[in-house]
C-alpha cells in the first residue's frame, strides 16, 4: 500500500505501464541498486551494501523468471544466460566485497537498458504509425 506521494506515483506508474516500460523500470531499479551497493562498498557500509546487492539480484531474478520460452527462443536463451551471469557477479561482489564484479554487472545492466529503451521507442513509434508491434521477452 502506498504511503507517500512518491509511493502512490510509483504504484500508479507500475500498474499502468506496458510490458516494455516495466522492463525498463526494472533495469533502472537494478542499476540504481548496484550503484548504491558500490557507494556503500566504498564507504564500508557492509549491511547496506549487502541489502542493495540482494535487491539487484532479486530484480534480475524476476527479469529472468519473466522470460517467455515460447517466443524469441534464441534471444530468451541468451538473456537467461546473461541474467545468470549478472547474478553470479553480484554474488561474487557480495562474497568478496569487491567493486569489479559490481562495475561489470552495472555495465551489463546499462547496456541491456539501452537496448530495451530503444525497443520501447520503436514500439511507441510503430503504434503512432498504426503498425503491428511484436514484443518479445
pLDDT digits (tens, 9 = 90+) for 7-22: 565 556 666 667 778 8
CA distance 93 to 47: 13
What is the pLDDT at residue 49?
Answer: 98
What is the pLDDT at residue 18?
Answer: 74
Q: Rounded to the nearest 10 degrees, what angle do helices 19-42 and 73-96 cross at? A: 20
CA distance 103 to 18: 29
Q: Rounded to the nearest 10 degrees, what angle do helices 73-96 and 99-128 cross at? A: 150
pTM for the complete prediction? 0.81
Length of the chain measured in residues: 137
What is the pLDDT at residue 135?
Answer: 58
- As its CATH architecture, domain 17-120 has Up-down Bundle (1.20)
Domain spans of the chain, in order of start: 17-120
Amino acid at each position: 500500500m502506498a504511503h507517500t506521494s512518491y509511493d502512490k506515483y510509483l504504484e500508479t506508474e507500475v500498474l499502468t505501464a506496458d510490458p516494455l516500460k516495466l522492463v525498463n523500470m526494472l533495469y533502472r531499479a537494478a542499476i540504481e541498486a548496484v550503484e548504491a551497493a558500490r557507494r556503500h562498498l566504498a564507504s564500508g557500509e557492509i549491511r547496506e551494501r549487502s541489502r542493495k546487492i540482494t535487491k539487484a539480484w532479486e530484480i534480475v531474478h524476476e527479469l529472468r523468471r519473466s522470460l517467455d520460452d515460447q517466443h524469441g527462443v534464441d534471444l530468451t536463451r541468451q538473456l537467461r544466460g546473461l541474467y545468470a551471469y549478472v547474478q553470479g557477479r553480484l554474488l561474487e561482489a557480495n562474497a568478496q566485497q569487491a567493486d569489479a564484479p559490481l562495475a561489470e554487472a552495472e555495465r551489463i545492466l546499462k547496456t541491456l537498458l539501452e537496448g530495451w529503451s530503444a525497443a520501447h521507442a520503436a514500439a511507441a513509434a510503430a503504434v503512432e504509425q498504426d503498425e503491428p508491434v511484436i514484443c518479445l521477452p
